[in-house]
Amino acid sequence: MSGTAHHHPGLGALRDRVTAPSTVELPTVGDGLTWRPATPGDIGLILDLAHAAGRIDHPRSLVTRDELEAEFSSEVFDPERDAVIAVDATGRAVAFGSATAPAAQEPIVRVELAGTVAPDRRGEGIGTALLAWQEARGLQHLAASDATLPGWLAAGAQDHATPAIRLLEEHGYERVRWWLELERDLGAPVAEPPPAQGVRLVPYGEEWTERARSAMNDSFRDHWGSRPVTAAEWASGDRLTAFRSDLSLLAVTPDTHEGERVVGFVFVEVEPDEWPLRGVSFGYLTAVGVRRDARGRGLARTLLAHVLRALRAEGLDHAVLDVDAESPTGALGLYQSLGFTVTDRSVSLVKRF
């Protein structure tokens, strides 16, 4: 599937189209397991589970404590209702799952399902029971919406996670989009950054918060499955310890209303705890974008060249990023022309309502 989801005025409100259970019963499967709603006090247990499962499911990336803390403190996440955990007799977390409603509903009401099961307890039906719980809670989220928009239950998996993909497909989810992980050796020469006429390049700082968020939302508005980033979500990302504002770069132009307007950006995270997973130090480019009315001027190439040089000057070995395999801006070709190569692939799966 390709393209961006759009408003559908012919659709009725989701609350009239989606049937949801009035209550969501906790799973009961798994010998010796106790299922209960998750709490912020479980973050340590969930982190241990995520690391154990991640060695198989996503061996090149790491879930961090502050990412989980940000999830549990989100304005749209109620762990008492939106998350479930199963612990064994020793107190170890064996399963965790969540169903999170969107903070912004345009252009799709997309409920994100995320979950995992300890590798040594797979094959017991725990994942199937967890997905059933997530779906029931997800349907409640969709049925609570008055929006006349498409409703999605959405999940993702690495390309090699065939059991997880098979489970989702058996329950009516479709593979709808592929995402590519790209990597570049910073030891290879980085081309001289092309000039950008009429543009000033500045590091990201708090004074740019709202203007950068506006640029992000405009840049990705025509991308598949994208939705606006709220102010609270933006602030949460800024607080992550891995976020490097000094390595993140903005392109700004004069503006009569704002003084200067952000027209392009590259945001960077550096998480040393992940370096052993790849065997090299690296910086992760979390987002690269240019406002739609500023495209065609080579701003993305200029920003990326500057950032790659900055990462190399920081002493990092590689740069990593993810891209939509069907990006409407031709981003994949740009990255490949700058020396990035594909190293991994993941897929989004969706059940539509």
C-alpha radius of gyration, the chain, whole number: 21
| 14-172 and 181-347, same CATH topology | yes
CATH pick for 14-172 out of 3.40.640.10, 3.30.450.20, 3.40.630.30, 3.30.43.10:
3.40.630.30
DSSP H/E element including 290: strand 282-290
Three-state DSSP state, 332: helix
Residue 69 corresponds to which tokens in the numbers above? 């803390």
As a whole number of Å, the end-to-end CA separation of the chain is 16
The predicted-structure confidence for 204-248, as pLDDT tens digits, reads as follows: 999 999 999 999 999 998 888 788 899 999 999 999 999 999 999
Give the whole-angstrom CA distance, residue 256 versus residue 253. Answer: 10
pLDDT digits (tens, 9 = 90+) for 63-107: 999 999 999 999 899 999 999 999 999 999 999 999 999 887 778
Residue 5 has pLDDT above 60, yes or no: no
Entry pTM: 0.91
Q: ∠ at Cα 250 (67, 222), nearest 5°?
A: 75
CATH architecture of the domain formed by 181-347: 3-Layer(aba) Sandwich (3.40)
Residue 4 has pLDDT above 50, yes or no: no
CB contact at 8 A, 268 and 285:
yes
DSSP H stretches of helix in 144-298? 162-170, 209-219, 231-238, 275-278
CA–CA separation, 4 and 289 (whole Å): 17
- Per-residue pLDDT reduced to its tens digit, 186-199: 999 998 888 888 99
Helical pair 162-170 and 126-143, crossing angle rounded to 10 deg = 50
What are the sequence ranges of the domains in the chain?
Answer: 14-172, 181-347
Mean residue pLDDT across the chain: 94
Q: What number is the average pLDDT over the span 180-184?
A: 98
d(CA 290, CA 69): 30
Helix (H, G, I), strand (E, B) or coil at 97: strand
Segment 288-317 shows an average pLDDT of: 96
Where is 37: in which H helix or E strand? strand 34-37
